[in-house]
Amino acid sequence: MLIVAIVSISLVQSYNIVIGQEEEEEGTAPRLRDSELNIALVANGIESPTSMAFLGPDDILVLEKDKGTVQRIVNGKMLEEPLLDVDVNAEDERGLLGIAVSKNASTDRTYVFLYFTEAEGNEDGGEPIANRLYRYELVDEKLVNPKLLLDLPYLPGPAHNGGVITIGPDNNVYVSVGELTPTNYAEGDYKFLSQNYEDGEAADGRGGILRVTQDGQLADGKGILGDEHPLDMYYAYGIRNSFGLDFDPVTGNLWDTENGPSWGDELNLVEPGFNSGWAEVLGTWTVNEMINEDDTREINKGEPSSSTPADLINFNGKGQYSPPELTWDETIAPTAIAFLDSDKMGTQYKNDMFVGTVKDRLLHFKLEEPNRTDLVLNGTLDDKVADTIEDTEGVTFAEGLGIITDVKVGPDGYLYIVSGARSLDGKVYRILPAASVE
């Protein structure tokens, strides 16, 4: 049984943080660049957390990747029993990965959408069956009435499953699915048109951002790239591996993050039919793919690409490549995106973008007004390329958070962060004005 410990809270002005005493002694306290804000520890003791969603104020659902459990945290305390426990295969990047909540006022129903690598049985993680998107209903403090919305591939795997879910302004469900590769690009012939392989197989659900209704039906009654199924579900393609999706509350535009191998991480504006370019182009570079004598696959960075490669798949002109709004030469591994549609942290942050990373930083970006299709980038970033992690110093909002797996705006208008992937003591933090800390 997991119960979140109640920790003594102290204000450490030098770190701009509210933390537990044990965390302070270990010197692992997160640090904010804005002295007018503080970080409060909301909950800890979460095993390998991935994503979170809100049922209401101080009522958070958090996923435990390896255990396949949906934990509920109310007023900072984890309930004794999870809301749901599903059989997952959690090898590498498989597991319980994505969650989103939708409340229907007319029917008084609360839907909870989950994306996970479903397994048969639970011994040693169980044998994987598929990556699946389910819809559950919240009834009497339990998640019940599962409805399978998407039955997706999982092979060869076990890496690059994606899994982040968001509900769009059109009330449709958007979910990212990665290219589903072996962990080290080892054996396996897995070339698909959705990955820009000219001789690839038909799209099967991998390598893209998929869109369906909350009942799992085709959104708008027709596909963006074509009418064949499952191509008709693709909102975007050419995606290597994405851990972040969010909609700009001002324009309704979708943005995503994407991870490269050790280079080529991306921040993208994702318009309908968007082609991110993988596996022909990544960041601002072409991709050199080699198959070695032992049939292993090797990915290397090619020459800078100043224009759209001619051999990208465009699905009869319905798909459109556009370069990233920001890319990294040295990987920072961007994860979650959140737009702060609130002025609770100060009007200077309202509607700005916040991006989590694996490399211990929470980034903050403003968007060019009025169109908001470009990031405000200055100094070393004005060419839209971060040559090193240090190039993001000017947009670093917080450090010391470890591996950030999710960033969300709560019903109270504050920014919440999940950190601690691969840890038995994952945490949820909240950022709020220093003056509001008692």
Q: What is the mean pLDDT of residues 324-335?
A: 96
The mean per-residue pLDDT over the stretch 224-251 comes to: 97
Q: Is the pLDDT of residue 13 over 60?
A: no
Catalogue the long-range contacts made by 363-369 (C-beta closer than 8 Å, 24 or more residues apart).
363/334, 363/392, 363/395, 363/396, 363/397, 364/395, 364/396, 364/397, 365/267, 365/326, 365/395, 367/248
Per-residue model confidence (pLDDT) at position 28: 63
Could you state, in order of their start, the residue ranges of all structural domains in the chain?
A: 153-360+376-417
**Mean pLDDT of all residues in 345-370:** 97
Range with the largest mean pLDDT of 131-135, 154-158, 279-283, 420-424? 131-135
Could you give the 3-state DSSP secondary structure of residue 182? coil
Q: Which CATH class is domain 153-360+376-417?
A: mainly beta
The 10s digit of each residue's pLDDT in 142-175 is 999 999 999 999 999 999 999 999 999 999 999 9
Confidence of residue 331 (pLDDT cuts 50, 70, 90): very high
Mean pLDDT of the chain: 90
Where does the pLDDT of residue 390 fall: very low under 50, low under 70, confident under 90, or very high at 90 and above? Answer: very high
Res 247 pLDDT > 50: yes
Kindly tell me if the per-residue pLDDT of 299 is higher than 70.
Answer: yes
How crowded is residue 389: how many other Cβ atoms within 10 Å of its Cβ? Answer: 18
pLDDT at 270 exceeding the cut of 60: yes
Of 184-188, 285-289, 433-437, least confident by mean pLDDT is 184-188
Cα–Cα distance for residue pair 20/32, rounded to 1 Å? 17
Give the span between the Cα atoms of 18 and 145, in whole angstroms. Answer: 40
- Does an H or E element contain 97, and which? strand 96-104
The side-by-side arrangement of strands in the sheet containing 142-152 is 96-104, 109-120, 127-139, 142-152
**Residue burial 39-57, b: 16+ Cβ < 10 Å; e: rest:** bbbbbbbbbbbbbbbbbee
pLDDT value, residue 124 = 62
Using omega within 30 degrees of 0 as the cis cutoff, is the peptide bond preceding 249 cis? no
User: What pLDDT sits at residue 184?
Assistant: 74
DSSP string, 305-317: --S--TT---TTT
Q: What's the pLDDT score for residue 27?
A: 42
Max distance between CA atoms of the chain, in angstroms, equals: 64
How many CB atoms are closer than 10 A to CB 314? 14
8-state DSSP, 64 = E
**Least-confidence region, from 106-110, 323-327, 407-411:** 106-110
71-92 per-position pLDDT tens digit? 999 999 999 999 999 999 999 9
Q: Flag whether pLDDT at 293 surpasses 90.
A: no
pLDDT of residue 121: 77
pLDDT for 26-38, tens place per residue?
446 899 999 999 9
187-237 pLDDT, tens digit per residue, is: 556 899 999 999 999 999 999 999 999 999 999 999 999 999 999 999 999
Instruction: Name the 3-class secondary structure at 241.
Output: coil
Q: What count of residues does the chain have? A: 438
Is residue 421 over pLDDT 90?
no
pLDDT at 294 over 80: no
Q: 257 vs 7, 164, 382, CA distance in Å?
A: 34, 11, 19
Mean pLDDT of 391-417: 97
Which pLDDT score is estimated for 29? 84
